[in-house]
A and B are shown apart, each in its own frame.
Chain A
């Protein structure tokens, strides 16, 4: 083998040019074209010879005792292979993301509308559905516990989890509680320091993730007595951890492979049909597929916590915040799911990105007989942002100040302390984000003389030809944590392999990261290209053969698993260069891998990677841990609880038909600091998507629950924005590196979902003069016809 050295600046320049598809580039998603063409295989498209179809019987009641379940008629239906109840569960009967309080199948009682009671496997989905209808359940229907008042008075209204069954760490019907006090707290003396005090009560409705790909998966029983599950999820390893004890199998016999995920947004953090499909598969010895129908999907996953919030803010005459007092009540529904983390976020981020010398906070999540709520994009922070940003506007009005200036005056910046006592030790350009969003050009003014009906509220529904239309503009900013907080070590693992395939150096990246649309697969390849100087990168299917990649949530995957890929790739590079040094006696310390070659900055190309690798692959596996955090003190909320903070500022321009209460968001501008845009196109996509989901919460998205019953479990009546509701979303990104993060990057996905909703509501308030203390804003709120 020879080592040639190419000298000459020109050649070197060419070689030194990093791949345009490395980090900072915008290569397209590998699955993009397939998805657009409808050729991408989602989890619901899977098929296996001899497979059965599973389905669940679900409770029509939000709260009832189960007096008896008779499955005999269902078993008689030809084509039915199994009907299972909780009695057929071989192992543990309860599971849960943080607290194992949810039965895999209802035991003696149901706690929410849609809770699964029994399972059927049959040779055809229709047969399974018919058989489910033949299962006879005798219920003793109880009055559901659904309101805050009822939940907080269990003596009168009862317990969602009786005291002897209660598994969480609070009390009564409270699932989790977090208090926080900073500075002097909020006392009469502190209040007296403020010249102006504003208070308000705010309410957030129950938003749904509304992913398009329903819950689905395929469980295949294995010869070793274990099971292989192909599943659309957000975190393979934590699914397995919850499943194995219920299936009474050791972890290694429960093998998960990621199937095509059709959206997640937090809704796949909890288990849905995973255990059910595996129970049926293990029981029948046949592969079992489960695909939820749309209505079942609305019952089969957790939603965003509805919230009731009370805020009081005090400021000096010149606008400096003096104190904030806040109580946030989140309805967690029947089971804990992610409620503790949601409460933690609400409590620790619930005052927004502002310097407030004196703070008191009390956040709780309730147990109720409403649908369970858990993870959804921006959780805890989204609800609170509607509260504190509404308050900022109220305060600005009370002070006669410009709302953007008021925010800038109080904005946190690097070196400031959060009310938790945590120093913000990375860039926090909150005031600058606001300035930039304010300075972006406004869309052309309304032309009421010659309006284009299609662009007005109502659009082709033809409700206005200009009558009643008023324009409004609103601003907001938000804060979100990145990664899992409060002492959780949510590490990620990556395995990177480098070898010669077809005469070219090819990197293979293997992680268990759930690609749910966020673009991790694109970014992993970019990282491998940059770190290893190769063009060809293969992404191995995500499965449990490699260590955990943590959850695809909390804006953490690029940071955490991207970071692991970087570490593993660096280790591969190190090993390869060591091999070269060892073999060829290179002494240069300025070596890098570029364009498929080993390059010395001073001496030029030393060897091609193909020659250096020969037939030997180099493979390394690394774990990436973020810096440690600690739990918040239960009473004071103090503690270094968060890994990283992220900020986004928005401006919304809306047109409102003030007579009909119809809203058209005309433009929604976003400015966000992303630390480093690994893939600028994806980053803009994330921000635009996050803004759109925030728009949905602002003006239309709500699961309507009455007396514990879901009233709109369909896309006919759970409305999400269409393209006609989605305005242009100009995005400006700032790249101020965070020294603690790989490449200086900042998690991107959630910040706009936190910040954009309040800007839209602020704009509607400006147009209508209405107080608007509840989201989603409905036409009824704008026309006083509730």
Chain B
């Protein structure tokens, strides 16, 4: 097995072009486990750890450009303000050791339906893009087009993830995850939710309840409609139990979970509805507080 250690991003792209089957390694918290379990026997490993810019993020007030290798621990510490949903998701990942190493780039590279970043990224809006690059050039893959199947993503064999572009939150965001223990657990299912008062939309993301992370499109549409029709964005009135319940039902309907060792499909659907209702309620309460204190 070859071990490639490019010192710069350009060298990394060149190496990936030359060895398209080389397996990139960032934090290694997925790669090493899978190698240990004999899932992969890659011809080469492409170590990205020397490329310092991958572990940096920048922001212009509207968008955060999150380097692929920024570890979860730093997302929690440095980005809870602009990316509250992702930071909450980061909190739930593994243990302190894993949060010190694991990254969103790695989560996207692995594209597991149980990855915790995904629901938060989906909920963060339609303008989330994975910045993929190769020697052929750079392109922005919309997050909705990134997840192709169980552990399959939209990268070309010669491409690497440079960063993820995520709009700065313009409203409250929440993330909830079910695990059968209180820490260090792969999601049985997870849900991300965000209010986007600027354009009057809402964002959702479902984790571990379908072959890929996915959005609850009908639930988003329903809620967007209700908020607009009833002038709730402006009034900040209570949503009422019927709206919350209906939203939960639509989220539940958007999932297509399976029975596995981590949980039953029926439980996943049930839990998604509960999480959807709760996260919506928390966000809406926060939003109401915000507009009332602004008034």
Q: Which residue of B lies closest to A703 (CB)?
A: B261
Within 8 A of A (CB), among B244-295: 261-264, 266-267, 269-271, 274-275, 278, 282
Interface flag for A773 (CB, 8 Å): no
Interface flag for A725 (CB, 8 Å): yes
Given A660-B178, A716-B186, A778-B180, are A462 and B263 also a contact pair (CB < 8 Å)?
Answer: no
Interface string of A702-739 (1 = CB under 8 A from B): 00100000011010110101111100000000000000
Q: Determine if A661 and B267 form an interchain contact, defined as CB atoms under 8 angstroms apart.
A: yes
Provide the residues of chain A in CB contact with B196, threshold 8 Å.
none
Given A459-B183, A724-B182, A725-B181, are A779 and B271 also a contact pair (CB < 8 Å)?
Answer: yes
Interface flag for A463 (CB, 8 Å): yes
Chain B interface, >50% SS class: mixed
Q: Which residues of A contact B (CB under 8 A)?
A: 129, 293-295, 457-465, 467-468, 659-662, 664, 699-700, 704, 711-712, 714, 716-717, 719, 721-725, 778-780, 783, 785-786
- CA distance in complex: A243, B38 (Å): 31
Provide the residues of chain A in CB contact with B185, threshold 8 Å.
461, 719
Given A462-B88, A722-B184, are A783 and B267 also a contact pair (CB < 8 Å)?
Answer: yes
Given A659-B274, A722-B184, A783-B270, are A463 and B37 also a contact pair (CB < 8 Å)?
Answer: no
- CA distance in complex: A749, B267 (Å): 36
Provide the residues of chain B in CB contact with A725, threshold 8 Å.
181-183
Interface flag for B129 (CB, 8 Å): no
Total interface residues on B, using CB and 8 Å?
35
- CA distance in complex: A68, B8 (Å): 54
Provide the residues of chain A in CB contact with B183, threshold 8 Å.
459-460, 722-725
Q: Determine if A779 and B263 form an interchain contact, defined as CB atoms under 8 angstroms apart.
A: yes
Q: Determine if B180 and A664 form an interchain contact, defined as CB atoms under 8 angstroms apart.
A: no
Q: Determine if B266 and A662 form an interchain contact, defined as CB atoms under 8 angstroms apart.
A: no
**Residue from the list A295, A465, A779 in contact with B278, Cβ < 8 A:** A465
- CA distance in complex: A405, B271 (Å): 38
Q: Determine if A785 and B88 form an interchain contact, defined as CB atoms under 8 angstroms apart.
A: no
- CA distance in complex: A717, B33 (Å): 13
- CA distance in complex: A410, B80 (Å): 57
Point out which of B92, B181, B185, B269 has the most chain A C-beta atoms below 10 A from its C-beta: B181
Provide the residues of chain A in CB contact with B92, threshold 8 Å.
460-462
Name 17 A/B residue pairs within 8 A (Cβ), A-sorted.
Answer: A458-B178, A458-B179, A460-B91, A460-B92, A461-B177, A462-B177, A464-B278, A661-B267, A699-B180, A711-B261, A717-B262, A719-B180, A724-B182, A725-B182, A779-B178, A779-B263, A783-B270
Q: Which residue of B lies closest to A293 (CB)?
A: B36
Provide the residues of chain B in CB contact with A699, threshold 8 Å.
180-181
Q: Determine if B180 and A700 form an interchain contact, defined as CB atoms under 8 angstroms apart.
A: yes
Q: Which residues of B contact A (CB under 8 A)?
A: 33, 36-38, 88, 91-92, 95, 174-186, 188, 261-264, 266-267, 269-271, 274-275, 278, 282
Q: Which residue of A lies closest to B285 (CB)?
A: A465
Given A659-B274, A661-B267, A786-B264, are A457 and B177 also a contact pair (CB < 8 Å)?
Answer: no
- CA distance in complex: A294, B33 (Å): 11
Given contacts A129-B38, A662-B180, A783-B271, 8 further A-B contacts (CB under 8 A): A459-B183, A461-B185, A463-B176, A465-B278, A717-B186, A722-B95, A785-B270, A786-B267
**Residue from the list B33, B176, B263, B266 in contact with A461, Cβ < 8 A:** B176
Determine how close the nearest CB of chain B comes to the CB of A782; give it in whole angstroms: 10
Point out which of B188, B262, B278 has the most chain A C-beta atoms below 10 A from its C-beta: B278
**Residue from the list B177, B182, B266 in contact with A785, Cβ < 8 A:** B266
- CA distance in complex: A783, B275 (Å): 14
- CA distance in complex: A457, B36 (Å): 32
Provide the residues of chain A in CB contact with B186, threshold 8 Å.
716-717
Provide the residues of chain A in CB contact with B95, threshold 8 Å.
722
Given A461-B182, A704-B261, are A467 and B267 also a contact pair (CB < 8 Å)?
Answer: no
